[in-house]
Amino acid sequence: MFLTGRTAIVTGSTSGIGLAYARAFAAEGATVVINGFGDSAAIEATRAELAATSGAEAFYDPADMMRGDEIAAMIEQAVQRTGGVDILVNNAGIQHVSPIDAFPPDKWDAIIGVCLSSAFHTMRAAVPHMKKAGWGRIISTASAHSLVASLNKGAYVAAKHGLVGLTKTVALETATSGVTVNCISPGYVWTPLVENQIPDTMAARGLTREQVIDDVLLAAQPTKAFVTPEQVAALALFLCRDDAKSITGANLSVDGGWTAA
């Protein structure tokens, strides 16, 4: 239980990879703040499960990652409730698949807002607390799309590349303060985010569901297997250990060899 006494905030943790991070931190004793959308009874069940796992408190904060004011309030409330913010995971994400000439501007704004600007707002609010404590871990879920592009994902690829640039910059700014700042870049992980883009990809490319899975999603992943949320969370847990204190400003791939190709 090496995270007992630590507070971890995970944005977008009501499902998928974010929930796996929250479970991993709770299993090591952390007080966890979860965030994201979903059915309120299911969210409360998740919150209670996390508290039971950690033996510490667990909170849900409904902040919309499109809103800088709500993000700042989420960080401050976590500090007031728990005494600090030790681990921040920028994980909330959305996707829209469309060629550039048909890409709806509101979808561009939403993807840049949730996948990139939210990390600016969380880091801006959390870094002073981490510096004051002399310890902190900031981890952002980027993507293989932070390193390479795919067709029809202009906003997502731009946001994820930007998230890596922001990470490198804040890593330099915090390098002597006990705070590390890194990205984890998964390949395809089987979560609702991937499931939800299958119909659009089927329509955009005239493919069946099976063709999208085999010929589009797993085509780029040499292992021909989806990454699991738990594998991504295991790396985040390692980044929280003292053994990882020299890893900062990095973008660590968990992509089945995708970006090696």
Does 191 interact with ligand NAD (rule: CB under 6 A)? Answer: yes
Alpha-helix residue ranges (DSSP H) falling in the chain: 16-27, 40-54, 68-82, 105-112, 118-133, 154-173, 192-205, 209-211, 229-239
Q: What does DSSP assign to residue 63?
A: -
Minimum separation from the CB atom of position 134 to ligand NAD (A)? 29
Contact 70, 63 (CB under 8 A): yes
Which range, of 6-14, 51-59, 198-206, 235-243, touches ligand NAD by CB under 6 A?
Answer: 6-14
Residues whose CB falls within 8 Å of the CB of residue 238, separated by 6 or more in sequence, listed in order:
244
State how far the Cα of 26 lies from the Cα of 19, in Å rounded to an integer: 10
Does 200 interact with ligand NAD (rule: CB under 6 A)? Answer: no
- Measure Cα distances from 48 to 32, 89, 112, 144 in Å: 11, 20, 32, 33
Q: Output 150 or 177, the one with its CB closest to ligand NAD.
A: 150
User: Is 156 one of the annotated active-site residues of the chain?
Assistant: yes
Residues whose CB falls within 8 Å of the CB of residue 161, separated by 6 or more in sequence, listed in order:
145, 146
Q: Output 83 or 195, the one with its CB closest to ligand NAD.
A: 195
Does 149 interact with ligand NAD (rule: CB under 6 A)? Answer: no
Q: Which amino acid is at 127?
A: V
Does 2 interact with ligand NAD (rule: CB under 6 A)? Answer: no
Does 87 interact with ligand NAD (rule: CB under 6 A)? Answer: no
Does 256 interact with ligand NAD (rule: CB under 6 A)? Answer: no
Does 117 interact with ligand NAD (rule: CB under 6 A)? Answer: no
Site string for ligand NAD, 22-51 (x = CB under 6 A): -------------xxxx-------------
Interface residues with ligand NAD (CB under 6 A) are 12-18, 35-38, 64-66, 91-94, 114-115, 141, 143, 186, 188-189, 191-194
